[in-house]
Structures are given as C-alpha cells and as structure tokens.
C-alpha cells in the first residue's frame, strides 16, 4: 500500500490559495477571529473531526482519530492579524480598514486546514490521532496561554507538537530548523520615574524626572555588554518615553516602556535584576525614585533535539532540493513556546519570499506578501512530518515524495 500526497496537493492547491486569499481579505485581530474560527470549524466538521470551538475565547480544536492506538500529534496554527493598513495593490487586499494579515497567519491557517484534509482522507492508516489547534491572539502573546488554560493540552494530551511559520527573511526553497533555543522569550517593561515638578525657568527647584529617565535609558544599554557573558544573547530596547504636557513645566513623572528578549530564563532573571538596580540607583542620584514593572509575554521557543534531528533528516531526504539552515536564531518571539514548553516538538521556518516578484517585504510591513508557491510546499512538509509519527510502518519514498508501507512492517 502506498499513500501519496502529491496528487491531492496538485489537485487542491488552487483551492487552498483561494482560501488563503479569502482569509487575507477578512483579517481579524487577536481574540476577534470570529469569521476565521467559523471557517475553520466548518471545514473540520465537514472532514469528520471532533471539533471544539471557543477554546481560549476564539480558538478552535479539531481531533482526527485514527483507526488504531498510537501517539497524539499536536499541529498548531495561528489565526490573528495585525493593526496595520495594507498598502499592497492586489485583488485580495484587506477589506478591513486598519487591519492586515502582515505576518502570514492567513497562510498558516490555510496550511493546517489543508493538512487536516490530506490526513482525514487517510484515517484508516493512522495509528493514534492528530490534534489540530487553531490559535487566536499570537500577535499579542496571549492566545496560546488562553487555550492551554482552557484545556488545549488535555483530552487527549499530545505527545509531540509541530508547527511552522512562513519566513520572508528566507527565499522560497529555504528552511530554518534549529535544535534547542530557536526564538527568544519576550517581556515588556515600564519604568515610572517620579520627581518633583515645577517651572521650566526654575529647574533648580525641581527634581527633574526627564533628566533622570534619560540617564536611565543610557545606563540600561550597559546591561547586555557588562552584566552578561559575551556568549549570551539578549536585547533591552526602550521604545517609548513619555513625560510632560507643556513647554514651560517640568513634570513630576516620566515613563519609559520597552521590551526585553533572551533565550534562557537565567538571562531574564539577570536582566530584570540589573534593570531594577540601575533604575532605582540612577533615579536616586537625581533626587527621584523609579519603579520597574516587567510582564512576561512569551517563553523562548525551544525545539526538542531528537525530534528536530528526526524531522530535519526526513525533510532533507524527501526534499533534497531545499536549502536547510541549521543553528538559526532570532530575537523575534512566538507563543508557540508555551506548547513546546509542555510538549516536545519542533517549530520551523519555511522560506517564502521571492525578490524577483517583489515579494520580499519583511513581516509586519504594510506591503508584506509572499510567494504562494510556499503553500503546497508547506502543506507537504507538515503532512509528511505528522505522518512520520502516526503512520507506523510507513516510510517516505524519496523518489516521488510518497509515504510507503515497508514490507513486513
């Protein structure tokens, strides 16, 4: 018996691209993905999966039960869009003012639904089950935790988790697959500096929080270079500085806001400790006080080494034409990290840009778009990865990219 995804992919890819374009035209922000979730639920119900809606507010879960016992593989896709006004001039541009799919989540949803279609047609060959998790609110870092809090990792509990992200930093035909830390953990912070306000013409009578906060901004930049070992990677970025409302008044308060990024929890602890020490001591030197608040947005995305090696070898065997980048890391963050913190698995990037077609703008850019040829490729990669866990006795035929039953398996 041979299971070949190629004919189905060739026959269905135009429909998948049309679905992606429909989703692109109707983007929805985090926890507002009502239309998208409805399309997902309707499709999964039609395929005969056991469907849960309203998980983590607008998330959807579909469980594909196989014909025998085996592992549970979680496939995760995010659904939300961004508060960006699209500048692309295409017939599938966003119809929602100020909202755009500028990170590829329309494609991620499409790809996961396509994999559900392919695997549901092979239900009798599946030993175990596949749990499709369509997640809201990735862009605000809250959707994964909301779904997990609602029981997304229960009944059934997954044994393996896999997911992918389109990657416009890499051209079509490129994969980024990294063992261990892959994407950074992220936090946001605020520092409220309190002084004593007064007239701008009499600064000696004040305790100027603007001067104190300015010194704090500069001092924070020494943490990465002087408080961490040179081999560690981290980021502290102050992205907002707010103080005062009038040209002739020194305010009583100033507020700094920003983000921190790191790959290890121990580094986060060091960053927060030194930020607090610096903020308080520098503010004190100017006769002010400072209060630091830090909120965790995501954990680092850490790929399981054994699963990463297994799937990288699989992809290299089935797609020798692809360029596989190993050891790649980014300070971008992803709340897929919460699934991978609980379940061993792999999150990888699929190159999606095409400079010759002017499809190379970065993620979160108002002209972001990608080469749609990545959709059938990503579907095949993800379907093959899942099949390698839940179709025992099946191997991948390198010659025709089919899943073939081994003799006497």
Residue-wise pLDDT tens digits, 244-259: 999 999 999 999 999 9
Q: What is the pLDDT of residue 395?
A: 58
Asked if pLDDT for residue 404 goes beyond 60, the answer is no
3-state DSSP assignment of residue 46: helix
b (16+ CB within 10 A) / e for 89-110: eeebebeeeebbbbbbbbbbbb
Active site residue 138: yes
The one-character DSSP state at 165 is E
pLDDT at 22: 98
Q: Which of 33, 138, 304, 371 is catalytic?
A: 138
Distances (CA, A) of 291 to 31, 194, 319: 31, 8, 53
- How sure is the predictor about 139, in pLDDT bands with cuts at 50, 70 and 90? very high
Report all structural domains of the chain as residue ranges with CATH numbers, in order of start: 2-183+301-405 (3.40.630.10), 185-298 (3.30.70.360)
Tell me what pLDDT residue 4 has.
Answer: 76
Q: Is 7 helix (H, G, I), strand (E, B) or coil?
A: helix
Please check whether residue 403 is in contact with residue 395, taking contact to mean a CB–CB distance below 8 angstroms. Answer: yes
> How many alpha carbons lie under 13 Å from residue 147 in its C-beta half-sphere?
32
Report pLDDT for 397: 54
In angstroms, the CA 396 to CA 354 distance is 29
Q: From 388, 389, 390, select the one nearest 402 (Cα to Cα).
A: 388
Q: What is the pLDDT of residues 259-280, one digit of tens each?
A: 999 999 999 999 999 999 999 9
The C-alpha atoms of residue 385 and residue 309 are separated, in whole angstroms, by 12
> How high does pLDDT run on average in the chain?
95
Which pLDDT does position 396 carry in this prediction? 56
Q: Is residue 128 very low, low, confident or very high in pLDDT (cuts 50, 70, 90)?
A: very high
Confidence of residue 2 (pLDDT cuts 50, 70, 90): low
The pTM of the full predicted model, rounded to 2 decimals, is 0.93
The pLDDT tens digits for 83-110 are 999 999 999 999 999 999 999 999 999 9
Inform me whether the pLDDT recorded for 359 exceeds 80: yes
**What's the average model confidence in pLDDT over 295-314?**
97
Residues 6+ apart with CB under 8 A from 134: 37, 40, 59, 60, 61, 62, 77, 78, 79, 109, 112
Percent of the chain with pLDDT over 90: 94
pLDDT of residue 206: 98
> One of 28, 33, 78, 80 is an active-site residue; which one?
80
Q: Would residue 397 show up in a list of annotated catalytic residues for this protein?
A: no
Contact 389/160 with Cβ under 8 angstroms? yes
pLDDT at 393: 67
Mean pLDDT across the stretch 153-160? 98
**Each residue's pLDDT tens digit, 307-343:** 999 999 999 999 999 999 999 999 999 999 999 999 9
C-alpha 230, offset from chain centre = 27
Strands (E), 305-401: 323-326, 345-353, 394-397
Q: For residue range 53-71, list pLDDT tens digits in order.
A: 999 999 999 999 999 999 9
């Amino acid at each position: 018996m041979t299971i070949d995804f190629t004919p189905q992919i060739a026959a269905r890819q135009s429909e998948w691209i049309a679905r992606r374009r429909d989703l692109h035209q109707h983007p929805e922000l985090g926890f507002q993905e009502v239309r998208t979730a409805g399309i997902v639920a309707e499709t999964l119900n039609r395929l005969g999966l056991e469907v849960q809606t309203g998980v983590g507010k607008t998330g959807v879960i579909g469980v594909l039960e196989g014909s025998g016992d085996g592992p549970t593989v979680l496939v995760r896709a995010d659904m939300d869009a961004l508060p960006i006004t699209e500048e692309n001039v295409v017939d599938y541009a966003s119809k929602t003012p100020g909202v755009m799919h500028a990170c590829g989540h329309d494609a991620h949803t499409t790809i996961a639904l396509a994999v559900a279609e392919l695997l549901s047609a092979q239900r009798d060959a599946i030993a175990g089950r596949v749990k499709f998790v369509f997640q809201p609110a990735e862009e605000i870092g809250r959707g994964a935790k909301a779904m997990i809090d609602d029981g997304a990792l229960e009944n059934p509990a997954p044994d393996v988790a896999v997911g992918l992200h389109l990657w416009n930093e890499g051209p079509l035909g490129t994969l980024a697959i990294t063992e261990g830390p892959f994407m950074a953990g992220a936090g946001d912070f605020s520092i409220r500096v309190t002084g004593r306000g007064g007239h701008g013409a009499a600064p000696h009578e004040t305790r100027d929080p603007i001067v104190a906060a300015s010194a704090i901004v500069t001092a924070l930049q020494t943490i990465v270079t002087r408080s961490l070992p040179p081999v560690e990677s981290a980021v502290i970025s102050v992205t907002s500085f707010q103080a005062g409302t009038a040209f002739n008044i020194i305010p009583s308060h100033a507020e700094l806001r920003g983000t921190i990024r790191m790959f290890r929890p121990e580094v986060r602890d060091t960053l927060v400790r030194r930020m607090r020490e610096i903020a308080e001591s520098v503010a004190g030197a100017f006769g002010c006080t400072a209060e630091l608040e830090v909120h965790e947005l995501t954990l680092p995305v850490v790929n399981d080494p054994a699963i990463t090696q297994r799937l990288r070898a699989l992809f290299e065997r089935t797609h020798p034409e692809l360029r596989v980048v190993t050891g790649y890391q980014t300070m971008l963050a992803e709340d897929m990290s919460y699934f991978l913190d609980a379940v061993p698995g792999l999150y990888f990037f699929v190159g999606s840009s095409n400079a010759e077609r002017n499809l190379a703008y970065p993620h979160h850019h108002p002209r972001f778009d990608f080469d749609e040829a990545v959709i059938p490729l990503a579907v095949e990669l993800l379907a093959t990865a899942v099949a390698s866990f839940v179709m025992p006795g099946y191997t991948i035929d390198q010659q025709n990219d089919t899943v073939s039953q081994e003799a006497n398996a």
